[in-house]
Structure 1
Amino acid sequence: MKEIEPTSKKGKRILEQEIATASMTGVRRAWNDDSIAKGLNPVKLANVLAAANQGDIYDYLTLAEEMEEREPHYGSVIRTRKLAIEGLDRHVEPGSDDELGQKIADDINNLVQSAEFDDLISALVDGLGKGFAACEVMWQSFKPTEYKWCDPRYFTYAADDAYTLRLRNEDGTAGQHLPAYKFVVHQPKLKAGVPIRGGLARMAALSYMCKTYALTDWMAFCEVFGMPIRVGKYGNGASDQDKTILKRAVANIGTDAAAIIPESMQLEFIQAASSTGGESLFENLANWLDKQISKAVLGQTMTADDGSSNAQSQVHNEVRLDLLKADAKQLAATINQQLIKPYIDFNYGVQEVYPKFVLHVPEPEDIAGLVDGLSKLIPLGLKVPQNFVRDKLGIPDPQEDEELLVAPTAQGIMPNQMPPLNSTTQLNTANPALDIEDDDDLDGFINVTEQSIKALVTQLQSANSFDEMLTLLNDAQLNTSDIADALALAGIKAFADGVK
C-alpha cells in the first residue's frame, strides 16, 4: 500500500471519497452478465484455474460468484459458514487498565457494536469462497461512517506479488496501488500458498461441474424413462420421401401421440426393459457430490446431509468448531490491524498497547456431564459458585420477590413443611429405616460416614484432571443413600437442637 499522510488535506480528501466506484462500462461494471459456468466442461474449468494460477483471476472470480448463485447446495453451505461468523458475539479487550486505555476500549466497543459494522463483517467473509475480499471504508473526520463491499473482480494481484491487491485500471495495466487505510482486505489463510488458490470455490469447483453433468443427464433420463421404444418399418422399395415421412411419424407420436403414415408402413411399440435402481443412480451421484462439497466447506456432513439427531448436532455443529475458531481469529486479526489500529492512531495517537477486537466462539457444554459431576462432588465438600453454574446452564439470577423452585429434602418433605423436632424419637419417625436410639448413635453414624468421605477427598485432591476425578468416584462405589441419610440427619439434628 502507498503510504499517505492522513492528517494532510490530500490525505483526508482521499479517505473521505469513494475510490472503487462502479461504472456502466469498463473493467468495473456495475451490471455484469459475464458467465463462465454456462457450458462449463473439464477443459474450460482447467483453463480457468490455470489462468488464476498465473494471476488472471477474473474468470475464476466470475465462476465463484456463479457457483453461489446457481448451485443450491454450495450456496447453502458457504452461506452457513459465513453466517456462523457473522452471528458471533463481539467484544473488546482493553489494552491497558488506566483511564485512557478504558476510554479507547469503550470507543472501539461502540464502533464494533454499530449496525454499520455488520456490513464490514458481511463484506469480508465473502473472501472464504473467493480467496480474498475487499471492503472500502468511508471516513468522516477520521471516523468510519460506512463500509462498502467491493466486487472482487474490480481488483487484480500485482504482477510481481501474489499477495498484494491492485485496483484494476481501465487501460488494462497492472493496476493502481490501494491507498493506505482506505480498504480493509481480508485474505483467509485456508491453506498455505498464495491467497487466490485457497478459496473454497476452487476446492468445490470440480464437484460443482460434475453435479451439473449429473443433473443434466438426470433430466434427460426422466424425460424418456418408462416410455416405450417406437420402431417404424418400411418395405424394400420405399423411397427417400417414404423414409422421411416414417421418421417424422415416429418422432411425432412421442410428443403428439398421433401420426399419419402410408398403409404399407408399420409402427411398433417395444416396452423398455425394466431398469430397477437406474432411477436412483443420478440421485446417489448428486448426493455424494453434495457431501464432498459439505466436507470442503463445513468440515463435516452430519448436519448438512445426514439428518442428524439433536444429540449429534451438539457434537457436529453446523460448522466444525475448529474451522469456526480459525475463521473468527483470522478475521479479527485483519480488522484489528487494518481498521482498529489506524482509527486509534488517528484519534488518540500511537499507543504502546492497543485494545483487541475479538469474535467470541462459545464452547459447546456437556450439560449432562456437568450436572452429574457436580451432583457427586458437591456432597463431598466441593465449593462451587452459583454464578458459575448459572452461566454454564444459562439460568438467570433470580429477581426479588420472584417465585423460586425448591428441592425436596431426603425424606420428600419440603423445607417449609419441616415439622418441629424435639427428640431423637421424632428423628426415627422421620426416617424409620435407621435404628438410632439416642444422639450418640446418630453422632457415630455421621462420624463414620464423614471419615469415609474425608478419605475419598484426599484421593480426589491428587487427581490431575476432571476425568480422573470421575474415575476415582466411580471406583469408590459410594453408597450415596447412606451419605444422603447422613447429611439429612445431620441437618435435622441441628434443626432439632435449635428448637429445643
Structure 2
Amino acid sequence: MARLLDQYGRPVDLTRLRQEQAEPTLSGVRSILSGHPAQGLTPAKLTRLLRMAEQGDATAYLELAEEMEEKDLHYLSVLGTRKRAVAQLEITVESASDEAADIENADLIRDWLRREELEDEVFDILDAIGKGFSVTEIIWDMSERQWWPARLKRRDQRWFEFDREDGETLYLKGLSGAEDLWPFKYVTHFAAAKSGLPIRGGLARAAAWAYLFKNYDLKDWITYIEVHGQPLRVGKYHSGATEADKEVLLRAVANIGSDAAAIIPSNMMIEFVEAAKSGGGTGTDIYEKLANWLDKQVSKAVLGQTLTTEVSGGSLAAARVHDDVRRDIMRADARQLASALNRDIVRPLIDLNRGPQKRYPRISIGLPVAIDTKQFAEALGLLVDRGLKVEQSVVRDRMGLPDPDEDGEVLRPMGAADAAPPPAAPPPALQAHGHAPGCSCHAAAPDALDALADDMADDWREVVDPMVDPIRRLMDEAGSLEELRGRLATIIAEMDTAALEEMLLRGSFSARLAGQVEADIGGD
C-alpha cells in the first residue's frame, strides 16, 4: 500500500495524529506567560521590535499586537468587526462532479461543517488578519472508526517562528530548536494586508504607529485635564508672615485639591483663578482631534472606510460606496480563509477516510447570492433547449438546493405520476409481416422523409453550435444573472445561422421532392 502523503508531499505518520504537538508547557519556550512591550513604548523601541520581527524574532511584536487589542478600544472594535463579518458568512461545499463518490466526499465535508463550534474556531483562525498569520492545531478523533477533526485549537503565534532564509516556512519552537509541523495536524492561515513576508502582512504592524502616537496624545490629554480641569489655587499671605505661616498656607492650598477643605489664619487669603479659554473652545480640542484622526486612519486600514464606524455626515450614495469597499475586503478575507480550509481540512479529511483522490470537494465562503429563481429557471431552460449542457449539481448549488437522498421522495412534473405507460412492443406477427392477423392496415414502414429526418438529426449539433457559442461565451463573462439578461439581446447579431439556413433549405427541398415522388407513385 502506497504511503499517504500530505498536501506538501510529506509522509503522514498516523500515530502522531492522535497526539498534540504544540501544547503549552509550564517551563520552556511555549509558556502562556507574556511580556508587555507596550509599557514604556517609544518610537525607538517600536522600531527595534518591528525590525527584530523581520529578522526572525517576532515575540515582542506579537505581544505588542495582543496588547493593542486589549488597550485600544477602537482597534479592538474594528478588528473584531472585520473578523466576525467573515466568521458568520455562509459556508457551502461544491462536489467535484455528479459522480456518486464525489458527492459522498462533499457530504462528508458538509457533515463536519455543521459543528456548532465552527464559528468560534474560524474567528480564532482569522486572528491572522491582525498578526499576519495564525496556527490552529487539528485535534483528530477516532471514536467512530473514522478520522474526524474534533477540535481546531488555537495556538499562540509566539510559539512559532519563520525560517530565517525564506521567511515563509513555519516551525514550532521546541527545547531542542525549531521543529517541523507534523503533516495533517495544522491549519496555517496567512492573511496578507499587503504583499511581502507574512510577518509584515498583519494589520497590527501598520496600526502600531497610530497606537503609539495615540498613547502619547492620551497621556498629554489626561495631564492637561489634571492641571486645567480645576481652577488654579493661589494663597496670599501678609508681609509679616513667618515661615511657619507660609507652610500652613501651602498645606491648605494643596489640601483643597484633594480634600476640598482647608483652614487658614484669618489674615491670609486663597483665590481661585479659572484657566483661560481662547478660540471659542477649550484647550482639549487639539487632543481630541488628534485622537479622532488616528482612529479614522485605523478604520481605513482595517475596514477600508470610516462611514460604518463614524457618524460624521455623508450622503447615502457615499455610505453605499463605503459599504461596497467593506464588502470587497470581506470577500478577499473569505477567499483566503476558504483556500486555507480547502488545503488543510478538506484534503486531510478526505485522504484519511477515503484515500487520495484525483479531485476534491471545494469549500466556498461568501454572502449568499440573491437570484430570482423564476428568471434563472426560465433562462436556464431556454439555454438547455438550445443545446447547453449543465450539471445538475451546479444548478442545485446556485439555487441552494441539497442533493436528493436515494430513498427520499422527489418532486416530479405535474401529471408525471399519472402518465400512461409507454406503448408495448408490437406483436411478432406485426413485426414480421407488417400487420396484425386479421387486420387490413399496413405497418408504418420508414420512408424517404424518415430517412431525411434522421440525417438532419445527426448533423444538428454542428448546425446549432455556431448559434449557441456566443451565449456560452456570455455566460462565462457575465458576473451575475442580471448582467446575463441585459446582454442577451445584444448577442443575437453574433449568432451564425448560415449553417441552419442551409440545412433547412436543403431539407425543405428534399422533403418537397420526396413528397412529390411518393404522390406520383401513389397516383400510379
SS in 2 for 1:115: coil
Q: Is 2:219 the counterpart of 1:216? A: yes
Q: Which residue of 2 aligns with 1:273?
A: 276
Distance in 2 of aligned mates of 1:325 and 1:288: 27
After TM superposition, the structure 1 = structure 2 runs for residues 134-213 of structure 1, keeping only pairs within 5 Å, are: 134-141=135-142, 142-170=147-175, 174-213=177-216
> Identity percentage over the alignment?
43
Moved more, 35-44 or 76-85: 35-44
* Cα distance, 1:324 vs structure 2: 1.2
Q: Judging changes above 3 Å, is the alpha-carbon distance between structure 1 residues 15 and 316 closer, same or farther for their aligned structure 2 residues?
A: same
Measured after TM superposition, the shift of residue 244 of structure 1 is: 4.8
- Per-residue CA deviations over 1:109-140 (Å, capped at 9, x if unaligned) read 22223224334422210100001000000113
Contact 2:191 2:336 in 1 (8 A): yes
What letter matches 1:219 in structure 2? I
Structure 1's 467 and 309: CA in aligned 2 closer, same or farther, altered over 3 A? farther
Give the match's secondary structure for 1:145.
strand
Alpha-carbon contact 1:169-1:176 (below 8 Å) kept: yes
> What is the match of residue 53 of structure 1?
54
- In the alignment, the residues of structure 1 paired with residue 241 and residue 335 of structure 2 have an alpha-carbon distance, to the nearest angstrom, of 78
What is the distance in 2 between the residues matched to 1:352 and 1:162? Answer: 31
| Structure 2: tracts of 5 or more residues without a match | 1-5, 382-397, 401-477, 490-524
Which runs of structure 2 are paired with 1:348-367 in the superposition (5 Å)? 348-362=354-368
Given the two structures, how large is their TM-score scaled by the length of structure 2?
A: 0.64
Q: Return the letter of the residue paired with 1:157.
A: F
| Aligned position for 2:109 | 108
Please say which of residues 198-207 and 42-51 is displaced more in the overlay. 42-51
Deviations 1:200-250 (A, max 9, x none): 111111111222222222233333435322234567887776655544333
Give the C-alpha shift of residue 385 in structure 1: 9.1
Instruction: Give yes or no for contact 1:4–1:179 (8 Å, CA) kept in 2.
Output: no
- For 1:363 and 1:241, the matched residues in 2 are separated by 83
Report deviation, 1:77: 0.6
**Offset at residue 312 of structure 1 (A):** 5.6
SS class of match (2:98) = coil
Q: Deviations over 1:1-57 (max 9, x none)?
A: 997643xxxx22211111111233333223x25212223222222222121121111
Q: Which amino acid aligns with 2:356?
A: V
Q: Flag the 1:210–1:129 CA change in 2: closer, same or farther, 3 A.
A: same
| Partner AA of 2:281 in structure 1 | G
The DSSP-based 3-state class of the residue aligned with 2:364 is strand
Q: Distance in 2 between matches of 1:319 and 1:106?
A: 34
Alpha-carbon distance change, 34 to 100 in structure 1, aligned in 2, over 3 angstroms: same
Deviations 1:226-278 (A, max 9, x none): 53222345678877766555443332222233345567765443332124422
Indicate conservation of the 8 Å contact 1:167/1:178, yes or no.
yes
The verdict on how the C-alpha distance between 1:260 and 1:185 changes in structure 2, with shifts beyond 3 A counting, is same
Distance 2:154 2:368 in 1: 28
Say whether the 8 Å CA contact 2:34–2:63 is kept in structure 1: no
In structure 2, relative to structure 1, the CA distance for the partners of 1:234 and 1:95 (3 Å cut) is same
Report the residue type matching 1:208 in the other structure: Y
1:58-457, aligned counterparts within 5 Å?
A: 58-141=59-142, 142-170=147-175, 174-225=177-228, 227-233=230-236, 244-261=247-264, 267-275=270-278, 276-278=280-282, 279-306=284-311, 313-317=319-323, 320-362=326-368
Count of residue pairs the alignment pairs up: 382
> In the aligned structure 2, how far is the partner of 1:129 from the partner of 1:144?
26
Which residue number corresponds to residue 20 of structure 1? Answer: 22
1:346 Cα deviation from its structure 2 partner:
1.9
SS in 1 for 2:323: coil
| Structure 1 residue 281: Cα displacement | 2.6
User: Match of 1:44?
Assistant: 45
Report SS of the residue matched to 1:91.
Answer: strand
How far off is 1:198 after superposition?
0.9
Q: 1:337 to 1:256 in 2, by over 3 A?
A: same
Q: State the alpha-carbon separation in 2 of the partners of residues 54 and 235 from structure 1.
A: 68
Q: CA deviation at 1:196?
A: 0.8
How far apart are the structure 2 equivalents of 1:196 and 1:241? Answer: 64
- CA 1:242–1:24: 2 relative to 1, 3 Å: farther
What is the TM-score with the length of structure 1 in the denominator? 0.67
Computing the radius of gyration from Cα coordinates, the structure with the larger value is: 2
Q: What's the secondary structure of 2:171's corresponding residue?
A: strand
2:55–2:164 Cα contact (<8 Å) kept: no
Amino acid at match of 1:61: L
Structure 1: stretches of 5+ with no match in the other structure = 368-373, 375-382, 387-391, 395-463, 473-500
Distance 1:46 1:224, change over 3 A: same
Q: What secondary structure, in the 3-state scheme, does the structure 1 residue paired with 2:218 have?
A: helix
Q: Aligned partners of 2:82, 2:152: CA distance in 1, in Å?
A: 21
Q: Would the alpha carbon gap of residues 229 and 318 (structure 1) be closer, same or farther in structure 2, given more than 3 Å must change?
A: farther
User: What is the CA–CA distance in structure 2 between the aligned matches of 1:241 and 1:45, rounded to whole Å?
Assistant: 50
Residues 84 and 319 in structure 1, CA contact (< 8 A), matched pair in contact too: no
Residues 230 and 50 (structure 1), Cα distance of their counterparts in 2 relative to 1, 3 Å cut: same
The alpha-carbon deviation at position 81 of structure 1 amounts to 0.6
Q: Aligned AA for 1:164?
A: T
Distance 1:55 1:232, change over 3 A: same
| 1:462-500 deviation line (CA, Å, top 9, x unaligned) | xx9969979x9xxxxxxxxxxxxxxxxxxxxxxxxxxxx
Within 1, Cα distance between the matches of 2:125 and 2:348? Answer: 18
CA distance in 2, matches of 1:51, 1:320: 32
- Inter-CA distance 261–116: structure 2 relative to 1 (3 Å threshold): closer
Instruction: Please tell me whether the aligned partners of residues 11 and 183 of structure 2 are also in contact (alpha carbons under 8 angstroms).
Output: no
Query: Do the aligned residues in 2 keep the contact of 1:36 with 1:62 (CA within 8 Å)?
Result: yes
Q: Distance in 1 between matches of 2:324 and 2:290?
A: 23
Change (3 A) 1:124 1:87: same
Change (3 A) 1:385 1:314: farther
1:452 maps to none
